[in-house]
Chains A and B, each alone.
Chain A
Amino acid sequence: MKRYTIKEISIGFVMFLILWIALALGVNKPILPSPLSVLPVFGKLIIGELGIHFLVSTIRVITAILAAVIAAVPIGLILGQMKALNRFFSPLISVLYAIPKIVLLPVVYVLFGISNFSKIFLISLIIFFQILVVVRDESAGLPEALINSVKSLGAGRLALLRFVYFPASIPAILTAVRVSIGTSLAVLFIAEQSLTEYGLGYFIIVRAYQALRYKEMYAGILAISLLGFLLYYLIDILEWKVSRHR
């Protein structure tokens, strides 16, 4: 995985601003203000109201990612090692994997109430299946020779999990999280649009869009984009750290 440098990121950001300015000039309507008028608003709000919404959304999405990893990794490792169990559950997992989890939003609200927990649960659910599948496949695909050589050093099932299967799955876990970030933020955005008073989804739709405050709305869009970008970048760094041997 290529790790982007600060220079490349800065160039990308400048290109993005140029594109935005061009589009704003071309469209020339209040719904698409220029970044030159949005950025000062963003700067002002992010150290105040918007900052709080940003923080709440960040906590929700990171908690969801961690919860999904903690739940999915052990199950994936077990399924990867137990062929019969994996064969049994595999059809079910492929059906569940394909369901767009956002449609379960009302069900989750009814079951768990309108709370932080329901939002986090829903995002976790999406990432859970992504991670489960990659961890399972990764640990099932490890070469037998490698497993045998570690067994010959005295490793039983638990030590194999600790020293071989788990570390071997880390890059795949990170890839799965990276792939899920986009969907997670989309679900977060939708889940935060109603029945809450905090979060970037709430800020963008309720506080800004519905009040026709377009500059504030774009400040919110920038904030959620920034969150996505920071998460991607964090995964990038972690991926780089764990794949130094490649």
Chain B
Amino acid sequence: MPGDPVVQLDGVTVIYGQNEALKNVTAHFARGAVGLLGPNGAGKSTMLKALLGFVKPDKGRMAVLGLDVAQRPLEIRARVGYMPESDAHIPGMNAVSFVAYCGQLAGLPPVDAMQRAHEVLYYVGLGEARYRNIETYSTGMKQRIKLAQALVHDPDLLFLDEPTNGMDPKGRDEMLELVRDLAHNKNVNLILSSHLLPDVEFTCDHVIVMDKGQVAAQGPIQELKGPAGRVFELRIKGDLPAFIDVLRSAGLECQSTDEDVMRVFVPSGAGGGTSDQLAIFTLAARHGVQVRHLRPSVPTLEDVFAKAVGEVVPNP
């Protein structure tokens, strides 16, 4: 069904020894491009591996494309493409053989697999290097070949685990363009796991923010970015920690984004227009703090992330 989520997790817990990698996670991945965002160790890769059946959850249920992961893993994997985070290839093969081989493993007839391999390699920008042994590839090319092998069997859903890892800025932009094109023009649903906010913001419509094995926030990015209220960039000279406390006690949320710049969130209903700035100036003057920079800003995914990771609410 068009409106159904492509991936659904209900109370999933994964434990590695003493470490709870996923803690009672309940999440719904909408169709289209969904970003799986979180710092390193948040449980993003574990979630993808659990969805592929690599890791068996200790508790909970998961469904991918409407199919139960525990019951029908092979059907799921036939319809899913996985681009792993680490370097991964089949030794001793050139790119076109490798991608065609992956296509055959996914059930494509040999002739179709070879044809698709050529097409997909051109698509990811490796057309000219397709007869080279993969072991001679640069890091960026290895990322592209991993995307190609995930795409060759035309999956309905792509799992991309840190697809821009180790890429130079130009390569990274190209990779993100590819991901965006797949999701928005080729009707491929995808889950992009990344700790890089700009990557997710550029490519995805929805986001699930993970932190310490839990879902910290989830929903459409625009909706999460646009909470009622306004945002200001603020730089001051004075006792920064003390002034943050002052702002917070005045009902304003503050988050440091750099060494001396912070973002101040003014909730809706509080003044509006120039009265917000005036309130900040007044508080600064009252506490002997110089305001060096104050300008209105727009909410970003970074704000959503910072807010979510700072206030993790465990699932019931």
Same complex origin of A and B: no
Give chain A's interface residues, CB within 8 Å of chain B. Answer: none
